[in-house]
Amino acid sequence: MSLKWVYLSISFLSVVHRDVAKQPCDDESLIKKNGKLSREDIEDLISIDNQSQIKMCLIVLGKDPLETEIAELLWRDLVKVYTTADDIPEDELQLLGWISKGIPASDFMNLSLTDIETIASFGKWRNYSKEQVMSLKQAIEDQWSYKGPSDFSSYDLAALGQVLCSFNKSHIAAIKPFAYKVAAADISNLVNCPQEIIREFALLATSRDAFGDPSGWTAIQIALIGCVISGLDSVRDIQPDAFEGLAASSMQCLPNNVLQAMSIEQLSHLSLSAVNALTHAQLSSLDREQIRAVEETAKTLGSALNDGCCFTSRNAAWSTVTLIAYLQLSTLIP
């Protein structure tokens, strides 16, 4: 992650300071396309002739979602540079971003995944097909054969991210509750994760070594747990004011049936940003009283914001500070 930023900054500076030698991926018109690239745009960008520029090209080309066909072509070009997928250096694999959506399922088995940073880059949401995810999971299991779910540290869990959704129910159950607790924020927004997996995470969350009984959860804990609340037997067990902590980024992974199961009081404690993040489909799954509760928040808090009141932004700053302090404490205290 940090490596990527250092690289981005360096390459950005080089764009600014060196406009004489035209580099293949420096082209601003390419950067401005936001992933809407054509075959012609990407031709010869990743090739042996331009090997010194590959890292920069990967960063620029993979930063936005790509059409599958374009991602596949870029991947094929990269394999060609190294002859086989096995020989692509991990520091380049880590920069693939959305290009990885173009990796054929069978090629995942060839990838070198010895660095946890490489696994972390494949653990991000890239809308992989089922075959791709299964193959990726297999490759990780093969290369981590010495490590089972009960050995996973919080760091491993955070890196695996979306890959956890392809694990067996029993694998998730074997994770140590404390490791889950420390990684909770990294697992709070998993996309399209099977309900049975989320249920296992919710069981871990309610363990005494994690967050304990849901009736005692606070807003800060809800901020960390996020969508995993949808694996509880009943979301109504959570105190209404704890919902103030539910992040806007967690709204997208809350299934309609969980929203429908929430009480009016719980819904009225959602933050303005969480309410604003509700999709049209989510809103229309609510009944009339529930919608009124949500609209009330949008009206009162929304108008306070329009009046220039500092309430929301101060609140956000406060909760970020608290969250960071809390995360540091929970990592330091064994």
Does position 252 bind ligand NAG by CB under 6 A? no
Q: How far is the CB of 243 from ligand NAG (least distance, A)?
A: 26
Looking from the CA of 268 toward its CB, the CA atoms found within 13 Å total 10
Does position 143 bind ligand NAG by CB under 6 A? no
Structure tokens at 190: 């998993």
Does position 249 bind ligand NAG by CB under 6 A? no
Of positions 46, 73, 85, 164, contacts ligand NAG by CB under 6 A = 85
Compute the distance between CA of residue 278 and CA of residue 275 in angstroms, rounded to an integer.
6
Give 136 or 184: the residue with its C-beta nearer to ligand NAG.
Answer: 136
Within 12-31, the residues that bind ligand NAG by CB under 6 A are 23-24
Q: How far is the CB of 22 from ligand NAG (least distance, A)?
A: 7
Looking from the CA of 159 toward its CB, the CA atoms found within 13 Å total 17
Of positions 28, 44, 287, 307, contacts ligand NAG by CB under 6 A = 44
Q: Of the ranges 47-55, 89-97, 197-205, 270-278, which one interacts with ligand NAG (CB under 6 A)?
A: 47-55
Compute the distance between CA of residue 237 and CA of residue 233 in angstroms, rounded to an integer.
9
Q: How far is the CB of 83 from ligand NAG (least distance, A)?
A: 8
Amino acid occupying residue 39: R
Of positions 9, 168, 284, 313, contacts ligand NAG by CB under 6 A = 168
Of positions 14, 47, 207, 330, contacts ligand NAG by CB under 6 A = 47
Does position 218 bind ligand NAG by CB under 6 A? no
Q: Of the ranges 81-89, 142-150, 182-190, 292-300, which one interacts with ligand NAG (CB under 6 A)?
A: 81-89
Compute the distance between CA of residue 215 and CA of residue 58 in angstroms, rounded to an integer.
47
Give 129 or 313: the residue with its C-beta nearer to ligand NAG.
Answer: 129
Q: How far is the CB of 211 from ligand NAG (least distance, A)?
A: 27
Binding stretches for ligand NAG (CB under 6 A): 23-24, 44, 47, 49-50, 65, 79, 84-86, 107, 110, 127, 129, 168
